[in-house]
A and B are shown apart, each in its own frame.
Chain A
Amino acid sequence: MSIAIFKTHLRLAKTSIKENRTRSFLTCLGIAIGVACIILILSLMGSISRLVSNQVKGIGEDLIVVRPSTNRDTVTSVVAELTSSNAYQKSNLALSDVDTIKGVENVVAAAPIAVATGTVKTEKNTIDSVTLLGTTPSFIDIQPLSLKDGSFINDTFESNTAVVGHTMSLLLFNTNNPIGKTLTVQNERFVVVGVLREVEESINFNNVDFDNAVILNANALSKAVGGLQVQQINAKATNTDSLAEVSEKIKSSLIEAKAGDKNFEVFYGDKITHPASSLFTIVSGMLTMVAAVALVVGGIGVMNIMLVSVGERTHEIGIRKSVGASSRNILAQFMFEALILSMLGGLFGLVLGYVFAFFVSIATPFAPFISWQILAATFGTSLAVGVIFGIYPALKAASKNPIESLKHYR
């Protein structure tokens, strides 16, 4: 196809879309909603990954994280996780694995994250479904949580110590200075030794909202609730250069200690971006489905309008063919129109998606995120929709008989 014909098709498509402004706009809107959903998902996912990776960078590049491998790929497993009180149904990690990791060369510190939910009682209040984080004193060496008052949990003179988050302190004790007071989990009593400062980011690689958590000694918590699942083990290496080497060693010594059990993964650096939130997986899954449905509906809209357009312009097709347009020329003309419609929809959806993302960012810690991948995805989807739903009307136009078409009037 020569450039001149290409330009002509472009011009024709522009004229045709302009002439039917309202219906072109409505057609574009269908595509736009689908694309906007995609943009929203990608933008939020991008922003979460960036958030977490910035945190990891802030903590230090020497962080290594061990997580049990779960089959989170299936919808049922995600739903099962969501509906249960524990964040993870079954973990292959145990508190003893922390010591194994500590024993690995070049590992400075290691601490487990074992989250349980339970009822916490104080003199004044009883609160249900509190996030109880069981860990060891080394936790603070790896992730510098900032304490507002007091000290972190310890196990030197008193094993039943607790640190409460900013919001939790107010909820449990009606004060932000609860040091020395006691709280009860099941029948175990814990002494509060510290209060955390307000945490800005509630989304983090630990999957714990520290503001609303009570941090306890893992062993004591295990005793209180009767057994704990370890969701994650954080470790710190001596220096950043040997991260790969150290994580390999952690892997091999863990496999050895666990008698060949390989159901865990070791992450470091940028790979610790997984926000470990099932809710997020569900939400983005739903949005993806909405986007897919909207795109299909939008595509059907494009096809519908193109079929109407082909019908209305049958006479024109006859004229064009009689003066020398080949079927291919006609095909290209209508294909261009469908593509431009869907591309306009894509562009519109891009803007709409960022407007959505902006509103979401007001209410949540997400920030709208833009990258060339997102732009490419927008472009790709609208192109695909245009081709898939434009080809049939265009073929229909191209296959029209010129003599019959010339007899056809609106």
Chain B
Amino acid sequence: MGANNTVIELKGITKRYGYGDTESFALKDVDLTVKRGEFIMIMGPSGCGKTTLLNTIGLLDRATEGSYILNGENVAGISSRRQAKLRAKKIGFIFQDFNLIPDLPIIDNVALPLVYTGHSKTAQLKQASSALSRFHLQEREYYFPYQLSGGQQQRVAIARAIVSDPEIILADEPTGNLDSRSSHIVMEELKAIHEEGNTIIMVTHNPSLTTYATRVINMLDGQIDTDVKTVSDNNLPKPVEERKTRRRSHKRSGRKK
């Protein structure tokens, strides 16, 4: 845990496509500092760079320029192999269209990030199972994604995002494909995760969801237009240290020697 509680520090992040006359910017000189425990909603019109920003934070995409410090480590120029490792350990992704692997039962889908961190099969299943039970899906462990409703699939995806206990959870319009009832359930789950002290960055089109956020960022043409904090840094939920310690030790014992 960093002394100043900063998880993400972006400075001058620029994403440029093309050169010369065809040059266009998806992101233009974005500065952003994210503290632990924040629930950030990024809003803005289509094509304003929300998703590119999210992908850059999630190490799926590389900025053309700028520095990115994740948990005190400069990750702007690291190898794609190291990026993959950090994605597996420190970042949880939730997508609009769930992105579950259709050929795998949901327990294996949830365990997917653990596969690439070298956990034993038993540890993978144990952790995936406990993540699923959190979302009341423990009875559906061996269902396949197509056998679940959209809301349930998204909850499976959320379980996958938190299974490796990441530093940040990134959600790209997680309710975009859901009806209002399922949206509400999913948002309540995210809220619960946030209240445990997790950092969440979410992209959305739906202004009514901003009530869940502690900070709302509006983007326009690849730049941050407005940035409003609705909760002061001091009132952010404190990490549930006890839970984390227990999980970490559990994880360590399950890891293959």
Give A contacts to B, CB under 8 Å: 2-5, 7-8, 15-16, 19, 315-316, 318-329, 402-403, 406
B residues in contact with A325, CB < 8 Å: 84, 88, 115-116
Beta-carbon contact of B116 and A326 below 8 Å: yes
CA distance in complex: A326, B116 (Å):
8
Beta-carbon contact of A322 and B93 below 8 Å: yes
B242 CB within 8 Å of chain A: no
Interface SS majority for chain B: mixed
A residues in contact with B256, CB < 8 Å: 2-4
CB distance from A407 to the nearest CB of B (A): 10
Give B contacts to A, CB under 8 Å: 55, 58, 60-61, 80-81, 84-85, 87-89, 91, 93, 95, 99-101, 103, 112-113, 115-121, 124, 160, 164, 256
CB distance from B40 to the nearest CB of A (A): 20
Beta-carbon contact of A326 and B81 below 8 Å: yes
CB distance from B14 to the nearest CB of A (A): 17
B residues in contact with A323, CB < 8 Å: 87-88, 93, 112-113, 116, 160
CA distance in complex: A322, B84 (Å):
8
CB distance from A169 to the nearest CB of B (A): 73
Beta-carbon contact of A326 and B101 below 8 Å: no
Q: Which residue of A lies closest to B92 (CB)?
A: A323
Q: Which residue of A lies closest to B255 (CB)?
A: A4
Q: Which 3 A-B pairs have the closest CB atoms?
A: A324-B88, A326-B84, A2-B118
CB distance from B229 to the nearest CB of A (A): 29
A residues in contact with B117, CB < 8 Å: 324
Beta-carbon contact of B116 and A324 below 8 Å: yes
CA distance in complex: A4, B119 (Å):
7
Q: Which residue of A lies closest to B58 (CB)?
A: A322
Beta-carbon contact of B89 and A322 below 8 Å: no
CA distance in complex: A327, B124 (Å):
21
CB distance from A316 to the nearest CB of B (A): 5
CB distance from B257 to the nearest CB of A (A): 10
Beta-carbon contact of A324 and B120 below 8 Å: no
B residues in contact with A326, CB < 8 Å: 80-81, 84-85, 116
Beta-carbon contact of A403 and B112 below 8 Å: no
Q: Name A4's contact: one of B88, B100, B115 (CB within 8 Å).
A: B115
Most buried by B among A16, A19, A319, A329: A319
CA distance in complex: A15, B117 (Å):
21
Beta-carbon contact of A5 and B60 below 8 Å: no
CA distance in complex: A180, B84 (Å):
94
Beta-carbon contact of A402 and B60 below 8 Å: yes
Most buried by A among B103, B116, B164: B116
Q: Which residue of A lies closest to B98 (CB)?
A: A319
CB distance from B246 to the nearest CB of A (A): 23
Q: List 24 A-B contacts (CB under 8 A).
A: A4-B120, A4-B121, A5-B116, A7-B121, A8-B115, A15-B103, A19-B103, A318-B99, A319-B112, A320-B112, A320-B116, A322-B58, A322-B99, A323-B116, A324-B87, A324-B91, A326-B80, A326-B116, A327-B81, A328-B81, A329-B84, A402-B60, A403-B55, A406-B95
CB distance from A126 to the nearest CB of B (A): 76
B residues in contact with A19, CB < 8 Å: 103
Given contacts A318-B99, A324-B164, A326-B81, 5 further A-B contacts (CB under 8 A): A4-B119, A323-B87, A324-B88, A325-B88, A329-B116
Q: Name A403's contact: one of B60, B87, B91, B100 (CB within 8 Å).
A: B60
A residues in contact with B99, CB < 8 Å: 315, 318-319, 322, 406
A residues in contact with B120, CB < 8 Å: 4
CA distance in complex: A329, B89 (Å):
15
